[in-house]
């Protein structure tokens, strides 16, 4: 679009923008746009304590994907809610209007909210805070692909930072199927032309899957391969998350 | 919510462990499935599916629309599920809303395939009339009339039946219009194009109760579940979508085992469903 400016007239006339990106051909010598290997994740960066007002918070950055999650509570459940001898988890995922290439595009956050809730609830010891509610609010500052896995991992870290009792940290990784290739931790460009996706959220130390979604067309051996790839990556991701928590704990002692 | 006494709970769990369920079924047996097609005259296609006391209706409406600028060579399909409070008082207000979004999202994941359209049950490029200008928008609506568990499988089956009942009118495009203008179209009242539904997957939900898992759980059995995995499988035996419900974690090897069981079960289900749909269509026409 920027290249067009030189050839057309200097006055601005609005015309419908059609993003014409040619679908790349995914043969053997195809390389990923950011030069990563197919089974190589983006460098992950985590930091806890991003928001002062929250009981716990975390910031995560995976390439261009930037997410902030804050955890509030446990606070008293609303009066309208019925008595419950286990705690409640209240999640929300939202996108900033400028997070996506087209403004205000990321509106499928209801779906993300439900997924985040389902991914987290299996790891939290809800019986440790009866009659109360924990709020998890996630905000996607910049959407650069694999948003949901980053949100889930970051939310788990924020919960740990808030001191909510959990069985294990939750790590989440997705793979995309592009032609015959399986690429891990896809970026936005790869996600938009993917033939299928597989996302796993798991508790690596317990070796349990809390949430799993698959779309597209998969044969059983491919699912096997994709799951193994994700589980290995989750284990590594959890190590990074753990070291981040340790660092934060050491920092506060000094 | 189902209120069960401790004894009833143990009876259900014990029965499942012994491979004989409260209604006499085995763990991997479905309830009898009844299919009726053409139940809604206003829609382009519709079907009603009953499995025991679970009763759902799906309708397909087609409207002419404009393709999105990002995908000019594809039509649009939206799937929405409504849980009417007439089925269960718990569906009133937010409870129903939550369930209907969950079901809608799961159906979209299972039926619409990946972003590039691979593995989609509905071929979106077949819905285009004029590229970049006109396409068919399919509105697939599911309604839960009565709920006794296993809603997702029943909705999946009813959508498959409704799509095979769908006739899309043939559209004549007036030629000669310049490329910038919106072309004029003439929708035929008599000629209808049948939809190819051979690629539409079926959904098999495996509900884990105790250490075993069952298909086609009733709501009493669902209340005892720790988690449930819904797997959609097409005729080729490929997996088109997986979603998981329930918070409890599962071992990866159990999930792989579930996938192979689902593939086996889906073969029988697809054949059963196809014969039911064919019978319903024959009755509808006579």
Longest alpha-carbon distance in chain A: 69
Residue A6 has pLDDT above 70, yes or no: no
* β-sheet bridge partners, residue B34: B50
Burial grade of B13 (CB within 10 A; 0-12, 13-18, 19 or more)? middle
- Determine the distance in angstroms separating the CA of B236 from the nearest CA of chain A, rounded to an integer: 9
Contact of B177 with B185, CB cutoff 8 Å? no
Instruction: For residue B80, count other CB atoms closer than 10 A to its CB.
Output: 15
Inter-chain CB proximity B251 and A208 less than 8 Å: yes
B75-120 per-position pLDDT tens digit = 888 889 988 888 888 787 777 888 888 888 888 888 876 666 666 6
Q: Is B151 helix (H, G, I), strand (E, B) or coil?
A: helix
* Residue B203 is assigned to a structural domain of this protein: yes
Q: In the predicted model, what is the mean pLDDT of chain B?
A: 84
B169-179 per-position pLDDT tens digit = 888 777 655 56
* Residue B1 is assigned to a structural domain of this protein: no
What was the pLDDT predicted at B181? 64
Contact of A44 with A237, CB cutoff 8 Å? yes
Q: What is the mean pLDDT of residues B139-146?
A: 91
Q: Between residues A179 and A254, which one has the greater pLDDT?
A: A179
Of A17, A110, A209, the CB nearest to B255: A209
What was the pLDDT predicted at A69? 93
SS3 per residue for A183-199 = EECCCHHHHHCCCEEEE
What was the pLDDT predicted at A21? 47
Residues of A in contact with B243 (CB under 8 A): 212-213
Q: Which residue has the tokens 């649009």?
A: B76
Instruction: For residue B270, count other CB atoms closer than 10 A to its CB.
Output: 21
Superfamily of domain A34-253: GHMP Kinase, N-terminal domain (3.30.230.70)
Q: Report the CATH number at residue B115.
A: 3.30.230.70
Inter-chain CB proximity B238 and A196 less than 8 Å: no
Say how far apart CA A155 and CA B43 lie, in whole Å.
44
What was the pLDDT predicted at B64? 86
Contact of A183 with A171, CB cutoff 8 Å? no
Contact of A128 with A56, CB cutoff 8 Å? no
Name residues whose C-beta falls within 8 Å of residue A40's C-beta, 6 or more positions apart in sequence: A184, A185
Contact of B271 with B242, CB cutoff 8 Å? no
- Determine the distance in angstroms separating the CA of B279 from the nearest CA of chain A, rounded to an integer: 29
Name residues whose C-beta falls within 8 Å of residue B169's C-beta, 6 or more positions apart in sequence: B62, B187, B188, B189, B191, B192, B193
Residues of B in contact with A111 (CB under 8 A): 101, 105
What is the Rg, in whole angstroms, of the alpha carbon atoms belonging to chain B?
A: 20
Contact of B141 with B77, CB cutoff 8 Å? no
Q: Between residues A193 and B177, which one has the greater pLDDT?
A: A193
Say how far apart CA A102 and CA A70 lie, in whole Å.
26
Residue B132 has pLDDT above 80, yes or no: no
Least confident of A13-22, A112-121, B128-137: A13-22
The domain locations on chain A are 34-253
Model confidence at B249, in pLDDT bands (50, 70, 90)? Answer: confident
**Residue B204, domain extent:** 6-285
Residues of A in contact with B251 (CB under 8 A): 207-209
* Residue B48 is assigned to a structural domain of this protein: yes
Residue A244 corresponds to which tokens in the numbers above? 């981040």
| N-terminal to C-terminal alpha carbon distance within chain A | 52
Q: What is the mean pLDDT of residues A189-211?
A: 87
SS3 per residue for A5-22 = HHHCCCCCCCCCCCCCCC
What was the pLDDT predicted at B2? 63
Residues of B in contact with A123 (CB under 8 A): 249
Strands A132-142 and A88-95: parallel
Residue B135 has pLDDT above 60, yes or no: yes
Question: What is the dihedral angle through the alpha carbons of B13, B15, B19, B21, rounded to the nearest 10 degrees?
Answer: -100
Of B118, B249, B251, the CB nearest to A195: B118
Inter-chain CB proximity A121 and B69 less than 8 Å: no
A152-173 per-position pLDDT tens digit = 999 999 999 999 999 999 999 9
ipTM value: 0.80
Say how far apart CA B40 and CA B45 lie, in whole Å.
7
Residue A76 corresponds to which tokens in the numbers above? 């008293």
Residue A19 has pLDDT above 50, yes or no: no
When divided into structural domains, chain B yields a total of: 1
B199-241 per-position pLDDT tens digit = 888 899 999 988 888 988 888 888 888 889 999 888 888 888 8
Range B109-135 burial, b when 16+ CB lie within 10 A, else e: bbbbbbbbbbbbbbebeebbbbeebbb
Burial grade of A254 (CB within 10 A; 0-12, 13-18, 19 or more)? exposed
Say how far apart CA A85 and CA A83 lie, in whole Å.
7
What was the pLDDT predicted at A104? 67
Model confidence at A10, in pLDDT bands (50, 70, 90)? Answer: low
Residue B28 has pLDDT above 80, yes or no: yes
């Amino acid at each position: 679009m920027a290249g067009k400016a030189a050839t057309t007239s200097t006055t601005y006339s609005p015309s419908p923008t059609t993003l014409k990106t040619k679908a790349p051909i995914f043969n053997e010598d195809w390389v990923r746009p950011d030069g990563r290997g197919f089974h190589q994740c983006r460098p992950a960066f985590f930091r806890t304590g991003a928001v002062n007002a929250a009981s716990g918070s975390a910031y995560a950055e995976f390439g261009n994907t930037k997410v902030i999650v804050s955890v509030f509570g446990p606070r008293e459940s609303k009066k309208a809610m019925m008595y419950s001898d286990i705690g409640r988890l209240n999640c929300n995922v939202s996108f900033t209007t400028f997070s996506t290439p087209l403004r205000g595009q990321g509106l499928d956050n209801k779906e993300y909210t439900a997924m985040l809730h389902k991914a987290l609830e299996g790891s939290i010891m809800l019986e440790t805070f009866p009659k109360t509610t924990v709020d998890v609010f996630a905000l996607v500052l910049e959407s650069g692909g694999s948003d949901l896995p980053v949100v889930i991992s970051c939310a788990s870290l924020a919960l740990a930072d808030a001191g909510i009792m959990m069985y294990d940290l939750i790590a989440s990784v997705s793979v995309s199927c592009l032609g015959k290739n399986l690429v891990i931790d896809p970026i936005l460009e790869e996600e938009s032309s993917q033939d299928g996706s597989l996302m796993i959220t798991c508790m690596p130390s317990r070796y349990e899957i809390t949430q799993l979604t698959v779309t597209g067309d998969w044969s059983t051996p491919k699912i096997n391969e994709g799951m193994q790839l994700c589980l290995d990556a989750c284990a590594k991701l959890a190590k990074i998350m753990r070291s981040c928590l340790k660092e934060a704990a050491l920092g506060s002692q000094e | 919510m189902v209120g069960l006494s401790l004894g009833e709970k143990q009876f259900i769990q014990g029965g499942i462990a012994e491979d004989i369920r409260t209604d006499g079924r085995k763990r991997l047996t479905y309830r009898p499935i009844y299919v009726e097609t053409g139940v809604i005259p206003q829609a382009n296609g519709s079907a009603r599916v009953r499995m025991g006391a679970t009763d759902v209706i799906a309708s397909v409406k087609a409207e002419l629309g404009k393709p999105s600028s990002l995908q000019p060579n594809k039509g649009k399909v939206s799937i929405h599920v409504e849980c009417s409070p007439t089925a269960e008082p718990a569906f009133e207000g937010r409870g129903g809303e939550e369930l209907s979004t969950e079901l809608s999202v799961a159906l979209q994941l299972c039926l619409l395939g990946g972003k590039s359209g691979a593995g989609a049950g509905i071929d979106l490029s077949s819905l285009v009339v004029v590229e970049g200008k006109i396409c068919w928008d399919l509105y697939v609506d599911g309604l839960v009339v009565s709920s006794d568990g296993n809603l997702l499988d029943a909705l999946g089956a009813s959508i498959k039946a409704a799509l095979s009942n769908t006739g899309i009118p043939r559209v004549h495009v007036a030629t000669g219009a310049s490329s910038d203008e919106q072309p004029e179209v003439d929708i035929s009242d008599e000629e209808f194009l049948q939809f190819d539904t051979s690629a539409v997957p079926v959904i098999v939900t495996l509900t884990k109760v105790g250490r075993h898992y069952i298909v086609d759980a009733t709501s009493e059995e669902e209340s005892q579940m720790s988690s449930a995995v819904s797997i959609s499988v097409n005729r080729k035996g490929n997996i088109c979508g997986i979603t998981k419900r329930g918070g409890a974690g599962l071992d990866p090897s159990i999930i792989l085992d579930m996938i192979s069981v689902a593939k086996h079960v889906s073969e029988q289900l697809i054949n059963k469903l196809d014969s039911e749909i064919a019978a319903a269509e024959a009755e509808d026409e006579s």
